[in-house]
Structure 1
Amino acid sequence: MTIHEITAAGIDLGSNTFRLLVANCSAGSLQVLAKKMATVRLGRGLEDYGQLHEESIQKGLAVLGSFKETLADYRLQSLRICGTEALRHANNSRHFLHKAEELLQHPIDIISGEEEARLSLAGVLAGFTEPITNPLLLVDVGGGSTELVFAPSPAEKTSVASVGLGVIGLTEKFLDPSQLDLSHLDSLLAEKLNAAFKQLGLINKGGQILIVGCGGTATSMAALDLNLSVYKAPLVHGYVLQNIAVERLWNKLVALPAATRNALPCLGEGRGEILPAGIRIYHVILQLLQENRIRISDTGLLEGILLSSLPHAAA
């Protein structure tokens, strides 16, 4: 490590997965030292019961215990831990947070949907070396919500919208194989996303927007379209996914049982259960905006959380 480098870490307590990143940071670039992910499904049943399931709480704490062991291997100069949609809304989130903070001996920030979106954008931009000149819409489909960031140009102020629809709740409510309710799902998505697009000033801008997708749904779609047997970030990052590929993946996966989808290579634990809901969100976005492609980013919220922990981020 050089004198200008800082060893930092970020932890994302998502509604579906918990993720850890440790990296050396220098002049805006990240040298990854450790990266871990585990499916916790913290948002399971949240829409119906309003609280975190005890089994998910215990699994989450076990995962954080393993993260703590990883962190102990490094001399960290900064660390930030952030919770998102499930921890924003569960009426017993304080119970989990108390145990988690005691375990990690570090405070946990429950960030707003708007901050989550901005951190995702910071992480994405850190991952792309070439300049982006087109108007950009960043889409981060999460377990409990979908975050949108619109940047008209690099010089203009970004606007954000947080849509309270994520893959866990949508799967539980609309994609049960015994009662698939696609028409109501598409109608709900169109209504909520259209409202968000109006808020962002995105109406009637078809054909002019670069749509970038980050997060587990986007990277999983790319990995499947690439037919990877093992996930390879360099191949996924920057991959351009055509609309026809999104439709093909939807038609293939929705016809398979969840257990078969979970067994597909290169997907994270349990990702197959909820991936169709995420694909459908991207399908509706492309339809509403009359766009035909998505550029995939392997970096996003996790990298943004880490970068926001650095001393200059608070300046």
Structure 2
Amino acid sequence: MSDYTQTLDSEDKRTATRVAALDIGSNSFHLVVARIVANDVQILHRLKMKVQLARGLDADNWLSDEAIARGVDYLRMINESLGDFEPDSVRAVATFTLRQARNARQFLTAARDVFPYPIEIIRGMEEARLIYQGVAHTQHAEGRRMVVDIGGGSTELILGDGFDPIALTSLQMGCVTFTNRFFRNGEIKQKQFDKAITATVQIMEIAPEQFHELDWEQTLGSSGSIRAVTEQAMAMSGGAGDRHVTRKQIKELVSLCVSAGHVDELPFEDISEERRRVFPAGLAILKGIFDAIDIKELMYSPAALREGVIYDMEDRLSHHDIRERTAQSLATRYDVDLDQAQRVLNTTWTLFDAVSVDWKLDQQEYRSLLGWAALLHEVGLQINSRGVQRHSGYILQNVEMPGFNQEQQQLVASLVRFHRKKFKKSEVREFSLFAPPEIERLIALLRLGVLINIRRQDDTTPFFRIKHKKNELRLTFEAGWLSSQPVFEASLLRECIQATGLGVNLEIR
């Protein structure tokens, strides 16, 4: 058999996984379809739809019905293009506009009717991390690099080295929101540019100090606004070389825009009407960033958030989930008693594995999130042992957790918040990715894992058998053991009452 035939045979035996990532941005929706073969990501298809969701967000952060309907219509088209993708093979992330919208749940509810895949609303810092992953995996660079992404509603800046970000920030300024604020009627005047640039410089003052103090070798930009600016800079220079823009060229583009006087009169070829409308705002933000952190030149990178999501999915498929590293880092930072955390984790997972199918929790995601809650349920001891469940829940609700979307982080925080004491259903927030019965059952399992290990010693953890059916759970201890432990038995009997409020009929024998 020839080497060529052997190679083909080997290729046939490889497992190829098709995945798709959807970036539900404030200005555009971006879909990327790829396949993962032998830990290599191959981009197969890209689709971009100009939706301008942020235009429907008013001063009170209320997303208009028209904007919701427009976004849902595009999601319907995207779903049709996805065809037969499995739910676990599609990851959709929403950014600034849905982060800000007070009625984001209305959008998610309407989207669920036409788009069967879960939509994750991610925090700004998580968006920045994913953007950097997209650029870092597709653009080779030696030494430190700065990545800038100007979206419709927010701008992300990331300083990194190799695949590791050093500093990240997400700032509330974008080409759509700045258009509404400074260039609403399409008029372009020097005074408007000056105000927009000054606003950018002021906002940049809250960026991490590393952006102002550290040096880097290369600056990359990864958004539609930056692509448009670099394309026009190339046109001015005769169209030679890579897409890049210098400080001088940005200044010339500002003068060109002011001379035009209106977006309809901009002398740019090959630019869409939608991009034309937001071009001055994107340019003003970019100039403000150049001025604030003294950038001399910026190169354009076609990869961004959606590619970062794809590579993040590849890491999870390869069992390199960054969320595991995040949880371990938090456990170290808050000096968690790892021996006790491991006891609680082992017991909680034993219970979970026994009931997961009957309780409709048979997804790896539930097991992982429950495990991280078990690991981190005592981070609040750093504040006070009294009310530790409240302190732990507060920390996990507000700390930065790279890799976790908003709802995943909130779920872990909710599990931890009610790992002991009285369960209060009214204090559990609403979720779009997780149903109330699932959340309550996960809380019930974590509570039992903590209670059974209350003595914090390996040799005192009791042996028990598990029997379950639907919402019923029976724990049977060795004959005579419970009666010899009256305090523990009383605690378990009290937990039976709490479990009822969690939808679980708990029986102790």
TM bin, normalised by shorter chain, reads 0.7 to 0.9
Report how far residue 205 of structure 1 moved.
Answer: 4.2
2:291 maps to 1:280: no
The CA distance in 1 between the partners of 2:154 and 2:52, in whole Å, is 13
Partner residue of 1:226? 234
2:196 maps to 1:192: no
The CA distance in 2 between the partners of 1:244 and 1:92, in whole Å, is 43
- Pairwise CA RMSD of aligned residues? 2.7
Query: Relative to structure 1, is the Cα distance of residues 178 and 127 closer, same or farther in structure 2, using a 3 angstrom cutoff?
Result: closer
Partner residue of 1:72? 83
2:151 maps to 1:147: no
Alignment of 1:73-88 (within 5 A): 78-88=89-99
Partner residue of 2:142? 133
2:102 maps to 1:102: no
Identity of aligned residues (%): 26
Report how far residue 209 of structure 1 moved.
Answer: 4.2
Q: Which has the higher strand share?
A: 1
Partner residue of 1:247? 251
Alignment of 1:1-40 (within 5 A): 3-26=14-37, 29-40=40-51
Query: Relative to structure 1, is the Cα distance of residues 122 and 143 closer, same or farther in structure 2, using a 3 angstrom cutoff?
Result: same
Conservation of the 8 A alpha-carbon contact between 1:42 and 1:53: no
Query: Relative to structure 1, is the Cα distance of residues 219 and 156 closer, same or farther in structure 2, using a 3 angstrom cutoff?
Result: closer
Matched AA of 2:210 = G
Report how far residue 303 of structure 1 moved.
Answer: 0.6
Query: Relative to structure 1, is the Cα distance of residues 12 and 53 closer, same or farther in structure 2, using a 3 angstrom cutoff?
Result: same
The CA distance in 2 between the partners of 1:267 and 1:178, in whole Å, is 17
Task: Select the residue among 291, 296, 311 that pairs with 1:292.
Answer: 296
Report how far residue 61 of structure 1 moved.
Answer: 1.2
Report how far residue 221 of structure 1 moved.
Answer: 1.5
Query: Relative to structure 1, is the Cα distance of residues 106 and 77 closer, same or farther in structure 2, using a 3 angstrom cutoff?
Result: closer
Report how far residue 47 of structure 1 moved.
Answer: 4.8
The CA distance in 2 between the partners of 1:27 and 1:277, in whole Å, is 43
Matched AA of 2:264 = A
Query: Relative to structure 1, is the Cα distance of residues 29 and 242 closer, same or farther in structure 2, using a 3 angstrom cutoff?
Result: farther
Query: SS of 1:51's equivalent?
Result: coil
Higher alpha-carbon deviation: 102-111 or 25-34: 25-34
Report how far residue 157 of structure 1 moved.
Answer: 5.0
Query: Relative to structure 1, is the Cα distance of residues 28 and 304 closer, same or farther in structure 2, using a 3 angstrom cutoff?
Result: farther
Query: SS of 1:19's equivalent?
Result: strand
Number of aligned pairs?
302
Query: SS of 1:144's equivalent?
Result: coil
Report how far residue 29 of structure 1 moved.
Answer: 4.3
User: Unpaired runs of 5+ in structure 1?
Assistant: 229-234
Matched AA of 2:228 = S
Conservation of the 8 A alpha-carbon contact between 2:56 and 2:67: no
Conservation of the 8 A alpha-carbon contact between 1:160 and 1:200: no
CA distances 1:256-310 after superposition (whole Å, capped 9, x unpaired)? 322345x944434501111111111111221222221001100011111222233
Conservation of the 8 A alpha-carbon contact between 1:118 and 1:160: yes
Task: Select the residue among 321, 325, 346 that pairs with 1:314.
Answer: 321
Partner residue of 2:218? 210
Query: SS of 2:211's equivalent?
Result: coil
Conservation of the 8 A alpha-carbon contact between 1:42 and 1:56: yes
The CA distance in 2 between the partners of 1:105 and 1:248, in whole Å, is 47
Higher alpha-carbon deviation: 283-292 or 154-163: 154-163
Matched AA of 2:220 = V
Report how far residue 156 of structure 1 moved.
Answer: 6.0
Matched AA of 1:250 = V
2:199 maps to 1:162: no
Conservation of the 8 A alpha-carbon contact between 1:11 and 1:306: no
Report how far residue 76 of structure 1 moved.
Answer: 8.0
Normalising by structure 2, what TM-score? 0.55
Q: Which has the higher helix share?
A: 2
Alignment of 1:54-69 (within 5 A): 54-69=65-80
Partner residue of 2:132? 121
Partner residue of 1:92? 103
Query: Relative to structure 1, is the Cα distance of residues 70 and 264 closer, same or farther in structure 2, using a 3 angstrom cutoff?
Result: farther
Higher alpha-carbon deviation: 21-30 or 62-71: 21-30
The CA distance in 1 between the partners of 2:272 and 2:306, in whole Å, is 16
Conservation of the 8 A alpha-carbon contact between 2:197 and 2:287: no
Query: Relative to structure 1, is the Cα distance of residues 293 and 60 closer, same or farther in structure 2, using a 3 angstrom cutoff?
Result: same
Conservation of the 8 A alpha-carbon contact between 2:56 and 2:64: yes
Conservation of the 8 A alpha-carbon contact between 1:45 and 1:169: no
CA distances 1:204-251 after superposition (whole Å, capped 9, x unpaired)? 446x442111011111122223339xxxxxx99x63322222222222
The CA distance in 2 between the partners of 1:169 and 1:286, in whole Å, is 20
Query: Relative to structure 1, is the Cα distance of residues 47 and 250 closer, same or farther in structure 2, using a 3 angstrom cutoff?
Result: farther
Partner residue of 2:307? 303
Find the structure with the greater CA-based Rg.
Answer: 2
Matched AA of 1:302 = R
Conservation of the 8 A alpha-carbon contact between 1:205 and 1:289: no
Query: Relative to structure 1, is the Cα distance of residues 49 and 121 closer, same or farther in structure 2, using a 3 angstrom cutoff?
Result: same
The CA distance in 2 between the partners of 1:74 and 1:106, in whole Å, is 10
The CA distance in 1 between the partners of 2:193 and 2:263, in whole Å, is 17
Conservation of the 8 A alpha-carbon contact between 1:222 and 1:239: yes
Conservation of the 8 A alpha-carbon contact between 1:134 and 1:209: yes
Normalising by structure 1, what TM-score? 0.86
RCO higher in structure (CA 8 A, sep ≥6): 1
